Structure 1
Amino acid sequence: MSIILEEFTKSWVSPSQYDYLLENGWRHFGENFFRYNINIYNNEICNVLPLRVRIENFHLTKSQRKILRRNKNFNYKIQKVNIDEEAEQLFSIHKEKFVDNVPNSIFDFLSEKNPTNVPTSVYEIRITDQEKTIAISYFAIGAEAISSIYGMFHPDYAKYSLGILTMLLEIKFTKSNNLLFYYHGYCYDVPSFYDYKKKFSNLEYYQWDNNKWEPYLVEQGVNTMK
């Protein structure tokens, strides 16, 4: 397999162009698009696997249903991106969890000039406990898919699995808007901190060799690719 390491900058793409890029393994932060198939993790070379959920026939796992029940008393709303003081404060608290590759700003992931419309329509899910903002995730919308960009949560609520909750709410939004795919980032072909992204039904991964999406199966806690 040849090494892929590509990037470009684009401030606007049409919804159908956005779908095309997602379908071919691209991701982006703001206007910066990138894709790569090799990385180094724990001092070893590993393969990078773009992931997506095919919404048709998606079903919740037992643990995901439990997360939804646990968080039923929290409120959430979906709206265009709003980088207000609450979002800035939550980002500052959330980034303290990182040891390596600590982000400098929320605008490492969103366009600083126009976060709501670069490179396409960008929305947020904001979860609150009464008046307190405890989690926010950002996602962009194409013609037939959405792509999760970044999520953050307050560490005091770690036991509530708010990162998974926002992903489930993004999937719910995808389904309710009759979209076909939910793209939620990359994982590695070795165990890593990205493994939570593998725990969704109807999961597919991008096969770099033939430019096709294939089913990704998780059986008895062991990741296997079909």
Structure 2
Amino acid sequence: MSEQNDLSTLKLYATRPHPCSYLPGEDATTVFIDPTASLDAALYSELSRYGFRRSGANVYRPHCENCQACVPIRLMVNNFKPNRSQKRCLKNNRDLTITVVHTIDTPEHYALYEKYINKRHCDGDMFPASHAQYTDFLTAEWGVTEYLEMRDANNKLIALAVTDTLDHGLSAVYTFFDPDEAHRSLGNFAVLHQIQYAQNNNLTFIYLGYWIRKCQKMNYKINYRPYQVLIDQHWVTVTDYPPEIEAKGQLL
């Protein structure tokens, strides 16, 4: 069966409207792939091209009736050149040792996640952190998931990036880090390292999920130029601020 046929036979389910986590006063609706469907690495890669993401084993995308603010975004790594701030971030973290591991089912990993959620996201729907949430959210799926450990000179774990390898890029699933190391800009560093990782493995894109123009937390995603956004099911390349996309009314 071809990928096209696989996609055409997938069942989609929609959640009921619920308060949006990113835009106050807005309702959100999410569509997700039938959890009983047989997904594999190839199908997951293809779904990423259509703007789908995963949370644990659940593959989803926003589908709000009156709002199109969530715009899928992916970085074009072959043409990426770090700006001055990004070069400084790389320099400030050159002492870190980065190792790929295949499990984070340890007290050390969970303790870092718990500290991150409880200090950085105490106003979000993931607070308070729990081990069940951690396990369900950061699972390894379809043989494509890797965990990038970042340790300082004392071998202390200070950050971890969860990343999935697609057939044409990486999907940056989630990054968490020690809030006490905020001066390192570890969230930005994790993206920069995944760009380098993709370049070294001849991959073309880094998927960063969704960008929402009016959500300040999302602004970092457009600092890595060039990037592409998915508009009307077409990936549009952006090298500077995208007035042509704003004119479509997609990012308002």
TM-score category, normalised to shorter length:
0.7 to 0.9
Partner of 1:6: 31
- 1:101-140 → structure 2 map (5 Å cutoff): 101-103=125-127, 104=129, 105-111=133-139, 115=140, 118-129=141-152, 130-140=154-164
In the alignment, the residues of structure 1 paired with residue 124 and residue 82 of structure 2 have an alpha-carbon distance, to the nearest angstrom, of: 32
Q: 1:14 and 1:120, CA in 2 relative to 1: closer, same or farther beyond 3 A?
A: same
**Shift in alpha-carbon separation, 1:10–1:214, aligned structure 2, 3 A:** farther
Secondary structure of the residue that 1:193 maps to in structure 2? helix
Q: Is the contact between residue 13 and residue 119 of structure 1 (CA under 8 Å) also seen in structure 2?
A: yes
What's 1:35 paired with?
Answer: 61
Structure 2: distance between partners of 1:52 and 1:135: 22
Q: Which has the higher strand share?
A: 1
Give yes or no for contact 2:29–2:65 (8 Å, CA) kept in 1.
no
Please say if 1:80 is aligned against 2:102: yes
- For 1:68, which of 87, 90, 95 is the aligned residue? 90
CA deviation after TM superposition for structure 1 residue 12, in Å? 5.9
C-alpha contact (below 8 Å) 1:122/1:141 kept by paired residues? yes
Percent of aligned positions that are identical: 22
2:32 counterpart letter in structure 1: E
Q: Quote the offset at 1:36 in angstroms.
A: 1.0
Out of 208, 218, 236, the position equivalent to 1:194 is 218
Corresponding residue for 2:14? none
- Which residue does the alignment assign to 1:203? 227
* SS in structure 2 at match of 1:60: coil
Q: Which amino acid aligns with 2:47?
A: L
Q: TM-score, normalised by structure 1?
A: 0.84
What is the CA–CA distance in structure 2 between the aligned matches of 1:199 and 1:11, rounded to whole Å?
Answer: 36
Q: Unpaired segments of 5 or more residues in structure 1?
A: none
RMSD over equivalenced CA pairs, Å: 2.3
Q: How high is the TM-score relative to the length of structure 2?
A: 0.76
Distance change in 2, residues 1:37/1:60 (3 Å): farther
| Higher mean displacement: 71-80 or 47-56 | 71-80
Q: Which amino acid aligns with 2:31?
A: E
Unaligned runs of 5+ in 2: 1-27, 246-252
CA offset digits 1:41-68 (Å, max 9, x no partner): xxxx561111101222121111111100
**Partner Cα separation in structure 1 for residue 213 and residue 63 of structure 2:** 11
> For this pair of structures, how many residues does the alignment match?
210
